[in-house]
Every structure is written in C-alpha cells, then in structure tokens.
Amino acid sequence: MQKVIIDCDPEIDDVLALMLAVQTPNLDVVAITVVSGNVPADLGVQNVIKCLEFCDRLDIPIYKGANGPLKRAYVSAQDTHGQDGLGESHIKVTSNKQAERLDAATFLAQTFQTPQSIGVIALGPLTNIAQALIANQNIGQNLNRFVSMGGTYQAAGNCSPVAEYNYWCDPDAAQYVYAHLDHRIEMIGLDVTRQIVLSPDILTYCQYMNAQVGQFIGAITHFYFDFHWQQERILGCVINDPLAVAYFSDPTLCSGFSTYVDVATTGIALGQTLVDVNNFYQRDANARVLTQVNAPAFFEQFLTTVLHLEPAQVSS
C-alpha cells in the first residue's frame, strides 16, 4: 500500500478523484488537505465530508488550508461547478465530522520534517504546498512522490489561451513549488486530462452497474455536462483530477518526458507552464511532463474501483 496525502479544492472532479483514491486497493489515503481554488476552502471541506460520508471513509482526517492565493486576489470557479461546488446537487452533510484544528500547511510541514514513505497528489492550486515549503524547505527530500494536476504543454489553456486554472489561480505558488520543491514534480496537465471525458454512455453504464454510485455521479455531474455542452459542444464532461489519482496508483497509464518547467507570474501569459523541452534555460529537470494517456485503461481502473466491479477478465 502506498501512503498518500491528497491536497484538493473539492468540486465535481476532485470529488470523483477522492472517490477513486479512498477505494483504490494500493492507496492508503492518510489525510486530505483542502485549498481554496475551484471553491473556497470552507466549502471544499464540506464537499470532502459529503464524499467521505458517501464512501463510508469518515476515518480520514481533513485539514483546511489557504483562503486564497499567496499574492493575488482569489477567483473561484463556481460558475463552472455550481455555487455549492457540486453542480447544484445540494447534497446534505449528515455527520458531525469537521476539519482538524491544525491548518493544512502546518500539517504538511510537520509531516515532512523527516523522511516519509508518503506521496502527495495535488489537485488544486499549489498554495498549501508553497506555504508548507516556505515553512519547511526539506519537504521535497522527505516525500516519495509528488503528482500535480495542473499546467499544460501543447494543449490550449482553460483560463486563458495558455494557462490552466490551478496554476492560473495561484501562479506565485506554482512558480515557488516548481522552483523550490527539490523533487521531480509529475505534471498531469491538460494535454492528458482533456482526453478523459465522462460521456453520457459511461454515466449510463455507471447507473446500470451500481445504481447508488451512478446516481451520485449523475447528481454531481449534471450541471457540468450542461456547462461543457454550452461552452464547448462536448457531450459529457472532462474529468481532470481522477487521472492524477489513477496515474499515481498506476504510473503506466501516462507517459511523457522529464525537463525543466517554470511558471509565468506576470503579464498576459499569467499561470502558463514554460516547458523547456529544448533546454534553452540549461537547467536540471524539475518535472516529468505527462503527454500521453491510455484513456480506456484509465476508465477500466476508475469504473472498476468506484462501481465496485470485479476486474474484467480479458483473454490474451
């Protein structure tokens, strides 16, 4: 079992990622830290609790983190994910679970004071991680993997022509983490996540195979389906974050290359990942940029896990 901390800004696809993570057999989710991103951190904590209640995993501790970016004004994405962050599904919290008293950055900084066989999957802006790193510069040396959903290499941005939301929301944090983590960041950007589309057919399959789970997924993605059709004429919805979890569990799902990555913090390219594929900066690689994904293998892993299906028997 690989221990992992998930840092997230839970709206629709973060919740799908958490559903996958807490039920993946080779992952042990030791804590969930929450950052302000797609939704404010207070609301994000409520959405984590809703997810953990649904998955019967209220044993996992939650730590609330930053209320906004390091230096910039905070811009949520509730226009994309609904005011409740879960597609206006307005699912009720029924337990009295709350976030721990310790804040997320302090928890992360303390956890990685000494070497740990724990990885981190970051599914939102990197504010909590940057704050923890400012407090404890040894974090990178003391964790065993760091996967970040964010950035883009050749795919278009989703917040500007060149920037992806998580890094655009807090570019200073992203820039700081890439510059100082001292650990190779596995960058699951839009090049790979845009290929993961939860289609109406897959949703129908979910509802047939496990009515309770299928209805939950349908309730939280309904609004997101509508958003994708209105904005891009996509049937279904792109689910970015579950791929970062699936890839952490099974690194053969994605392939790419290692190089130096920086993040633009000013100007019209704000939040853009500068992927130095031709080695202009002559800097050591600080990232592995994932550019190819086996989407059918992702869906096999995702659906088998969240729908509690027997793994498919494929004859060779």
User: If DSSP codes are grouped into helix, strand and coil, which group holds residue 120?
Assistant: strand
Which residues, in sequence order, are bridge partners of residue 34?
A: 8, 64
Of 21, 14, 33, 48, whose CA–CA distance to 250 is shortest?
21
Q: Does 123 bind ligand BDR (CB under 6 A)?
A: yes
**Burial of 294 from C-beta contacts in 10 A (0-12 / 13-18 / 19+):** middle
**116 or 199, CB closer to ligand BDR?**
199
Q: Is 276 a catalytic residue?
A: no
- Fill in the per-residue mask, 141 to 160: x = in contact with ligand BDR (CB under 6 A), - = not in contact: --------x--------x--
User: If DSSP codes are grouped into helix, strand and coil, which group holds residue 29?
Assistant: strand
Q: Give the separation between CA 295 and CA 290, rounded to whole angstroms.
A: 13
Q: Tell me which residues in 85-124 interact with Ca ion (CB under 5 A).
A: 123-124
DSSP one-letter string for 259-280: E-EEE--SSTTTT-EEE-TT-S
- Fill in the per-residue mask, 211 to 240: x = in contact with ligand BDR (CB under 6 A), - = not in contact: -----------------------------x
Q: At what angle do helices 295-306 and 200-209 cross, to 10 degrees?
A: 30
Beta strands in 123-239 (DSSP E): 145-149, 185-188, 197-198, 237-238
For 303, the enclosing helix (H) or strand (E) is helix 295-306
Q: Does 164 bind ligand BDR (CB under 6 A)?
A: yes
Residue nearest to ligand BDR (CB): 165
Of 82, 75, 96, whose CA–CA distance to 13 is shortest?
82
**Least distance (Å) between residue 48 CB and ligand BDR:** 13
**Least distance (Å) between residue 124 CB and Ca ion:** 4
Q: Determine which one of 7, 9, 172, 262 is catalytic.
A: 9
**80 or 111, CB closer to Ca ion?**
80
Q: Does 84 bind ligand BDR (CB under 6 A)?
A: no
Region of 8-16, 111-119, 177-185, 272-280 interacting with ligand BDR (CB under 6 A) = 8-16
DSSP state of 110: H
- Fill in the per-residue mask, 13 to 42: x = in contact with Ca ion (CB under 5 A), - = not in contact: -x----------------------------
The contact set with Ca ion (CB under 5 A) reads 9, 14, 123-124, 241
The contact set with ligand BDR (CB under 6 A) reads 11, 13-14, 38, 123-124, 149, 158, 164-166, 240-241
Residues acting as catalytic residues: 9
